[in-house]
Chain A
């Protein structure tokens, strides 16, 4: 028996019977096929198109195509007042509108040099953390659906509904809030808000355990995600990953801790990173795990904020809101920890106009997704679905 390499046919095992050569086994090289996943594909979470070059079931190359949801966010910003940009930021990451508004507001406030009332800061953190939980619930629920688990999705959306009702009660809208303004808030929260939020915290604590048992410890789910799409920490940093994606690779980096803003330095919470016991560090399961554990930390933050929040007596949510936002000339890059990572705004002001000269949003999903090409190389098509799901993309933020 010997191995022959016949040009263009891959390696072939043959044996000789007398003078005849008998082919025993041929390493088949199948024809490569181009497979377009999306833009209308449920597992791409929106209108993302992945053009995959496949060899059988193996993806040899995947090229993401973006822009199907491009709405010229940055051009729009240059044509409206600073305050009027806030509703646009809701539409970036529409699953975490409060967090996007928060990031934008603190960026402009850096240029403005105004003092924000303490109660405003607390309310901002409460609504942002509530929104973070809601956003993670969608991420976890839809990730389950991607991998064939339907029940966790229903559980997640049931609980998310309560958060959306709370936020609707405060702001009047379910997803696109326009609540956190530059310099303050649109309104104070309703009278019983703290009580109802505390009720939710008490209700939701056991649910995170339930969700953990239902999905994170589910054997099928673990088999589909563990060891898939591993991203080493240094490569993740070089790719500019942030948020749960970066922490999934074992880097303890959270802007709320490492580049603190608002009242986060006063609050006590952990930054969960996987320890490698239940997952391989940097794989899809680690990223999922970080999100699952982060919800508990958010609950902790909310609880502390409710306890420490100054009373509403004599409080005006708009007391520090400038009549006309006209920052001094200069540039600023401000950022905040969003559910999906670092959302940054680069704003340029000429000091005369009430409109930004340039407003660039650094989208976390856009940066996280850029590693897709490297992550997908040599993966199976079903694993590709697991990887996209673990990146937790929102196309509204990628395409802007």
Chain B
């Protein structure tokens, strides 16, 4: 954020929500990135993520009851994969915030929040399907869009498509 720039109202609301989360969890979350298009913070302590999520949903001052989107992302330069969750308080306080969670690219896993927002259930399956990170304690960790016996994770930046699938030539 540039110094002296006036924050828009929605970013101010997000910043206020972040302040409450930061007060509670301190070092487990990163500093707040107050950009205009998608203000976010990152969860640094992976194991605290479900607790933070539950706090965000149930705290009367936050009431983030609606997960709009959960996208998997490949941070190739950092050798990490992660998720970006767009969460908001629908019909209650009407503020929104984005949360990023990252894990190692090889064999990494992120605690699941499917029990907190049901939306996360299928979206986490999709993130696993495309990026290969596991979601621990997920009720149904399977691929969702690709076939179960597909090799590799298609949305990784260095993905190479398999030669053949059940005798069918794949690259065309």
Contact = CB atoms under 8 A, between A and B. Distances in A.
Interface of A: 66-67, 70, 72, 74-75, 78, 110-111, 234-235, 237-240, 251-253, 258, 330-333, 335, 342, 344, 346, 348, 358, 360, 362, 366-367, 370-371, 399-400
A66 B145 contact: yes
Interface in B100-127: 117-119, 121-123
Interface residues of B, number: 33
Closest 4 CB pairs between A and B?
A240-B119, A360-B71, A362-B69, A332-B37
Interface stretch (B14-22, B41-49, B83-91): B83-91
B13 interface: no
A330 B34 CA distance: 12
B46 to A, nearest CB: 21
A240 B122 CA distance: 11
A360 B66 CA distance: 18
B30 interface: no
A72 B150 CA distance: 14
Contacts of B69: 333, 344, 346, 360, 362
* Interface SS of A by simple majority: mixed
Contacts of A240: 66-68, 117-119
Given A74-B130, A399-B145, A237 B90 contact: yes
Contact of B37 (A110, A239, A370): A110
B68 A344 contact: yes
Given A330-B37, A330-B38, A362 B68 contact: yes
Interface of B: 35, 37-38, 40, 65-69, 71-74, 84, 86, 90-91, 94, 98, 117-119, 121-123, 130, 143-147, 154-155
Nearest to B122: A370
A176 B65 CA distance: 35
Given A238-B65, A253-B91, A66 B144 contact: yes
A331 B144 contact: no
A258 B144 contact: no
B65 A67 contact: no
A165 to B, nearest CB: 35
14 contacts: A67-B144, A70-B145, A70-B146, A111-B37, A237-B65, A240-B66, A331-B38, A332-B38, A348-B73, A360-B71, A362-B69, A366-B122, A367-B119, A370-B122
Contact of B73 (A66, A67, A358, A400): A358
Contacts of A251: 90-91
Nearest to A398: B145
A362 B146 CA distance: 17
A370 B71 CA distance: 16
Contacts of A78: 155
A333 to B, nearest CB: 5
Contacts of B90: 237, 251, 253
Nearest to B86: A333
A75 B65 contact: no
A75 B129 CA distance: 13
B71 A346 contact: yes
Given A331-B37, A344-B68, A362-B68, 14 more contacts: A110-B37, A238-B117, A238-B118, A239-B119, A251-B91, A330-B35, A332-B37, A333-B68, A333-B86, A360-B69, A360-B71, A362-B69, A366-B122, A367-B122
Nearest to B68: A344
A367 B66 CA distance: 12
